[in-house]
């Protein structure tokens, strides 16, 4: 651990990759200027009801008002957001005469907010834009509102992503909505906003960041840039997640986890795999937290993928400084990390039953992340991984 030597004030920078990122403690004060830089004059801040009750949201609204950036508030976003949350937000956006969106919160709020911005000027229904084939070409780009993203958790990385995950209530399935213009124009990544995260949320969201990095690294295809970002993202998780979990007030740990989360989502432009293929329907069917589901699933998927990922796990283990670098060393590290963070070992312990394994496996096989798994998977293979995970058979 190296935190003693780091002054959090130096963990600051402005980057143009993969979008404009303003990173560092206190940078939330730039929110009004960031809105102005994207041409907004009257944005709508989209968040969830829990965050809306915290002082940071009111402080942001007040600061914007003082900076001549009057800002509306929409808070009706649930965890694992549904299509209705998006369309209610679109109605609020249009009724209020807004001209941009501030996506403020964790993955659910940011995903919903990005879709509200996408849908602000569309005529077709939301799920016409599901990430499949060339559906994204149906979007009228002129109807997409600008977005400033302000993450308050360190996991999803949705602030630097071009997609959102929204539940289609008609089919009770999670759908990925994708368009290149969904990438927020400015990200304000201020680690001070994550200081109050409860330890179990720190754990689950941090494991989501890890799952993004490791699935991106393992996804097939030639993408050395994504591989490099994924590896460094995992080094940051290795070095800083236990500290962020043990003592949420350590700003350096919060800062490194916040950047690791953005790196995971940057890297997974390369692809994700069976962890996400299974956790998406598990979230839709049982409401299990996305990061928690990924954390429980990860070792079972790695075991399944072992024949295809030995080399990459050796590279990862070397970078992390693990003893006897190889697949077993990475697996041991992940199991130890899960235990340190209080993550359950099985889906059964997390409240996910095996009753609907066939339905879940069919949905997992259709998830757009499934082709990114390094060992090809069909519904039967995904069912096997799922059942092992429910029963704790590792």
Q: Which residues bind Fe ion (CB under 5 A)?
A: 208
Q: Please, are residues 364 and 385 in contact by the beta-carbon 8 Å criterion?
A: no
* Residue nearest Fe ion, Cβ-based: 208
| Minimum separation from the CB atom of position 202 to Fe ion (A) | 15
CB atoms within 10 A of CB 392: 14
Please, which residues have CB within 8 angstroms of residue 127's CB and are 6 or more apart in sequence? 83, 168, 175, 177
> At its nearest, how many Å lie between Fe ion and the CB of residue 291?
7
The least CB distance from residue 280 to Fe ion, in Å, is: 9
The CA distance from 348 to 388, in Å, is 10
Q: Please tell me the distance from the alpha carbon of residue 292 to that of residue 205, in angstroms, as a whole number.
A: 7
Nearer residue to Fe ion within complex by CB, 48 or 208: 208
Cβ 80 to Fe ion shortest distance, Å: 12
Instruction: Pick between residue 80 and residue 181 the one whose CB is nearest to Fe ion.
Output: 80
The C-alpha angle with vertex 337 and arms to 80 and 22, in degrees rounded to 5, equals 60
Q: Which is nearer to Fe ion, 71 or 158 (CB)?
A: 158
DSSP calls for 73-120: EE----SS-BHHHHHHHHHHHHHTT---EEEEESHHHHHHHHHHHHHT
CB 215 → Fe ion: shortest distance, Å? 8
**Which of residues 52 and 214 has its CB atom nearest to Fe ion in the complex?**
214
Shortest CB 286 distance to Fe ion, Å: 16
Q: Which residue has the tokens 């209080």?
A: 342
Q: Please, which residue, 30 or 48, has the CB nearer to Fe ion?
A: 48
- Per the CB < 8 A criterion, the answer to whether 163 and 182 are in contact is yes
Comparison of 159 and 208: residue with beta carbon closer to Fe ion? 208
């Amino acid at each position: 651990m190296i935190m003693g030597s780091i002054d959090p004030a130096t963990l600051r920078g402005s980057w143009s990759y993969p979008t404009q990122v303003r990173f560092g403690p206190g940078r939330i004060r730039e929110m009004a200027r960031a809105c102005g830089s994207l041409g907004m004059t009257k944005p709508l801040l989209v968040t969830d009801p829990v965050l809306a009750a915290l002082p940071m949201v009111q402080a942001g609204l007040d600061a914007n008002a003082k900076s001549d950036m009057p800002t509306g508030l929409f808070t009706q976003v649930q965890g694992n957001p549904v299509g209705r949350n998006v369309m209610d937000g679109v109605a609020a956006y249009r009724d209020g005469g807004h001209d941009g969106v501030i996506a403020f919160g964790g993955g659910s709020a940011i995903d919903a907010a990005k879709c509200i911005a996408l849908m602000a000027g569309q005529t077709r229904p939301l799920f016409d834009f599901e990430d499949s084939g060339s559906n994204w070409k149906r979007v009228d780009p002129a109807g997409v509102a600008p977005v400033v993203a302000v993450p308050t958790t360190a996991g999803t990385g949705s602030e630097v992503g071009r997609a959102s995950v929204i539940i289609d209530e008609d089919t009770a399935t999670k759908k990925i909505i994708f368009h290149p213009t969904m990438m927020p124009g400015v990200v304000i990544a201020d680690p001070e906003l994550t200081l109050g995260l409860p330890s179990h949320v720190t754990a689950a969201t941090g494991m989501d960041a890890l799952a993004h990095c490791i699935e991106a690294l393992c996804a097939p295809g030639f993408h050395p840039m994504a591989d490099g970002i994924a590896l460094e993202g995992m080094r940051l998780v290795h070095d800083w997640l236990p500290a962020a979990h043990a003592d949420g007030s350590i700003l350096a740990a919060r800062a490194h986890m916040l950047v690791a989360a953005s790196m995971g989502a940057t890297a997974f432009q390369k692809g994700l795999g069976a962890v996400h293929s299974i956790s998406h329907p598990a979230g839709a069917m049982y409401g299990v937290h996305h990061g928690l589901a990924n954390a429980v699933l990860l070792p079972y998927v790695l075991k399944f993928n072992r024949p295809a990922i030995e080399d990459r796990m050796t590279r990862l283990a070397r970078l992390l400084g693990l003893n006897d670098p190889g697949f077993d060393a990475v697996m041991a590290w992940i199991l130890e990390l899960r235990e340190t963070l209080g993550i359950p070992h099985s889906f059964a312990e997390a409240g996910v039953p095996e009753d609907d394994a066939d339905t879940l496996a069919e949905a997992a096989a259709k998830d757009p992340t499934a082709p990114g798994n390094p060992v090809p998977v069909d519904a039967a293979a995904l069912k096997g991984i799922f059942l092992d995970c429910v029963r704790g058979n590792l």
